[in-house]
Amino acid sequence: MKIAVSSMSKDLNSMLDVRFGRCNYFVIYDTEEGLVKTIENKGQMSGGGAGIAAAQQIIDEDVDVVITGNMGLNAFNLFKNSDIKVYRCGSIKVETAVQLFKEGKLEELTQAGPAHAGMGMGTGRRFRGGR
């Protein structure tokens, strides 16, 4: 079984990144071979559609399970249609997240979380002008 974890860096000691489409890397752990592979998330710098690009990358790696914090609707539906299970986890070490999954302690996502529509847009105060 191949498990992909959204990650801030390149190995099992890295912290899980709760942002699926905007994470820096995916650490892929093969439970049968005991091998670890890291791929850079090609979707992280996209102006839009980051989750879709990231999901397609994971699908191309023939992954069975994804562990992340949040996932938008489009990425979630791609995984659902590809029979890839998605599990929620907080910002902990990637290795710990994999262990919690093996122990059956992670919650399976059954619906998408909120989409983010870009990187931090629209959250600041508007200029009100004048005095």
How far apart CA 74 and CA 105 sit, in angstroms, is: 26
User: How many domains, the chain?
Assistant: 1
How far apart CA 109 and CA 15 sit, in angstroms, is: 20
83-123 pLDDT, tens digit per residue, is 999 999 999 999 999 999 999 999 999 888 765 544 443 33
Read off the CATH number of the domain in which 67 is found: 3.30.420.130
- pTM for the model stands at 0.86
131 within some domain: no
44-73 pLDDT, tens digit per residue, is 888 888 999 999 999 999 999 999 999 999
Q: Which domain holds residue 75?
A: 2-108
